[in-house]
Amino acid sequence: MSEIKKIAVLTSGGDAPGMNPCIRAVVRTGLHLGYEVAGIMHGYQGMIDNNIVDMNSHSVSNILQLGGTILKTARCADFRNVEGRKLAFENLKKNNIDALVAIGGDGTFTGLERLSSEYDLQVIGVPGTIDNDLYGSDYTLGFDTATNTVIEAIDKIRDTAESHARLFFVEVMGRDAGCIALRAGIAAGAEAIMLPERDTSIEELIATLNDGVAKNKNSAIVIVSEGDKSGGAFNVAKRVKEVFNFYDTKVTILGHLQRGGSPSSFDRILGCRMGFAAVKALQAGESRKTVGLRGNKIVLTDIEEALKGHEFKLEEDLLEMSTILA
Ligand code: ADP
């Protein structure tokens, strides 16, 4: 690898709170180490469209507290093709960019792996997704903020559920990973949590709700991950209502509000740490690695290993605890 002079940073895939603190860290660490730094707009699409801007310290002023991403993000079908990546690499060369930090999820890492296997380019991936489903890091950027947002919403739902003696089905994000559902369920005291990784039968759910009735519970909240195998909160509510009508039943889909909002202190600090570590890794000559947090230590993982290991392992101990404590 020849010595790098100019680093670019992009955000790709689903946006997540904490991406902005990470962009700021990449830019300022890069400048501090004497590199030029560029920002690529709209993820891989901006690389193909040559939508690349030079960044200075001021470009990232006052963004620590902002949700979303100032570099914008996109899903780019053309980057999946060899021709698209060729165009993208030619634009990097045109802009004298020899190293890249990509903040995103599994898809973003796959694109990064492809690009760096085809061209001479130093690359580091930073896990940014609210789903917390990437191998190589205990936490991904945005997960903590999204979980806090869900908890705040459920607390509010609990107030009205208690007042009216209602059963609420609250659908939260998580198509393949129930991480948000599980953590929010524990923190908000949900009576039941339905996860994509685990089949919960309607009979099992009704038994849990009946347990609550036996304990004189005045309301119940069931968290349903959007990827739950029973088919989402409306479907589950309909099936439960057919046989269980102790409470008045309501459904709330939290939807995209879970993605937004000012990053929590945890996500701000994680963004700073990961962005800083990504540039330090490039300086040390590392490439084709992802940055992660393991037991409060920043670690690097081979990007291929991170992609192969992509599978959220259900935390059975937390699930067991949630059912006992609810
Ligand atoms: P995330 O990074 O959050 O998982 P996506 O799955 O949408 O989000 O991926 C983000 C982008 O990464 C895609 O729009 C595409 O440009 C790129 N990408 C995803 N999969 C591949 C692939 N197999 N080959 C090349 N690029 C890919």
| Inter-CA distances, 133 with 57, 62, 184, 203, Å | 32, 29, 15, 29
Helix (H, G, I), strand (E, B) or coil at 217: coil
Please indicate, yes or no, whether the overall pTM of this predicted structure exceeds 0.75.
yes
Q: Given CATH 3.50.30.60, say whether it is the number of domain 145-260.
A: no
Gyration radius from the chain CA atoms: 22
| Closest ligand 1 atom, residue 78 Cα | 16
The DSSP symbol for 171 reads E
Ligand 1: does its nearest atom lie under 6 Å from the Cβ of 145?
no
Q: Which residue is catalytic, options 15, 131, 144, 228?
A: 131
Helix (H, G, I), strand (E, B) or coil at 13: coil
Residues of the chain with CATH 3.40.50.460: 145-260
Mutate to test the pocket of ligand 1, among 10, 11, 12 (most ligand atoms within 8 A of CB): 12
Mutate to test the pocket of ligand 1, among 47, 80, 134, 175 (most ligand atoms within 8 A of CB): 80
Instruction: Note the pLDDT of residue 314.
Output: 81
Label residue 311 by pLDDT band (50, 70, 90): low
Tens digit of each residue's pLDDT (9 = 90 or more) over 243-277: 998 889 999 999 999 999 999 999 999 999 999 99
| Closest ligand 1 atom, residue 128 Cα | 3
Q: What is the DSSP string of 267-303?
A: HHHHHHHHHHHHHHHHHTT--SEEEEEETTEEEEEEH
Instruction: Note the pLDDT of residue 230.
Output: 87
Q: Using the predicted structure, report yes or no on whether residue 310 has a pLDDT greater than 70.
A: no
Ligand 1: does its nearest atom lie under 6 Å from the Cβ of 55?
no
Query: 131 an active-site residue?
Result: yes
Would you tell me how many other CB atoms lie within 10 Å of the CB of residue 315? Answer: 17
Q: Using the predicted structure, report yes or no on whether residue 14 has a pLDDT greater than 90.
A: yes
Buried b (16+ CB within 10 A) or exposed e, 300-313: bbebeebbeebebe
| Inter-CA distances, 314 with 156, 184, 189, 231, Å | 27, 15, 19, 19
Average pLDDT over residues 103-123: 97
Instruction: Note the pLDDT of residue 309.
Output: 87
Label residue 2 by pLDDT band (50, 70, 90): low
Label residue 1 by pLDDT band (50, 70, 90): low
CB hemisphere CA count around 31 (13 angstroms): 15
| CATH for the stretch 6-142+263-308 | 3.40.50.450
Cα separation, 66 vs 21, in Å, equals 8
| Inter-CA distances, 78 with 59, 91, 113, Å | 28, 14, 15
Average pLDDT over residues 125-145: 96
Ligand 1: does its nearest atom lie under 6 Å from the Cβ of 108?
yes
Tens digit of each residue's pLDDT (9 = 90 or more) over 152-187: 999 999 999 999 999 999 999 998 899 999 999 999
Ligand 1: does its nearest atom lie under 6 Å from the Cβ of 11?
no
Residues of the chain with CATH 3.40.50.450: 6-142+263-308
Tens digit of each residue's pLDDT (9 = 90 or more) over 187-242: 999 999 999 999 899 999 999 999 999 999 999 999 999 999 888 999 999 999 99
